[in-house]
Amino acid sequence: MAGVSERAGVLVVRAWVEAGEGPLRARITARLDLVGGEETSVVVGGWEAAAEVVRRWLEEFERGDSIPRAPGDGSVTPA
């Protein structure tokens, strides 16, 4: 039987609301490749922005592209 090639990535979302005020904040840490990929982390405000980062990550993981950036933000930094 031929071996099956598999890629694995990880995306961790930590969400919080500061003192019950303001929009949800989320830190999203991601790796597209657990074997040799670079880990990145971004903080976003609002569930819409967090959902967009997660959506982009899933799309890029499926294609095998680089780590997604926050919407309108070039501030993804190595963790």
Domain of residue 30 covers 10-69
Tell me if 38 is assigned to some domain. yes
Whole-model pTM? Answer: 0.72
Residue 5's Cβ-count burial label (10 Å; 0-12, 13-18, 19+) is: exposed
Tell me if 62 is assigned to some domain. yes
Tell me if 79 is assigned to some domain. no
Q: What is the pLDDT of residues 9-54, one digit of tens each?
A: 999 999 999 887 789 999 999 999 888 778 999 999 999 999 999 9
How far is residue 41's CA from residue 59's CA, in Å, rounded to a whole number?
A: 17
Tell me if 34 is assigned to some domain. yes
Residue given tokens 């597209």 in the structure block: 32
Examine the pLDDT at 78 and tell me if it is beyond 50: no
Residue 63, number of CB atoms within 10 A of its CB: 9
Q: What was the pLDDT predicted at 19?
A: 86
Tell me if 75 is assigned to some domain. no
Q: How many domains does the chain contain in total?
A: 1
Q: What was the pLDDT predicted at 74?
A: 44
Tell me if 46 is assigned to some domain. yes
How far is residue 30's CA from residue 34's CA, in Å, rounded to a whole number?
A: 10
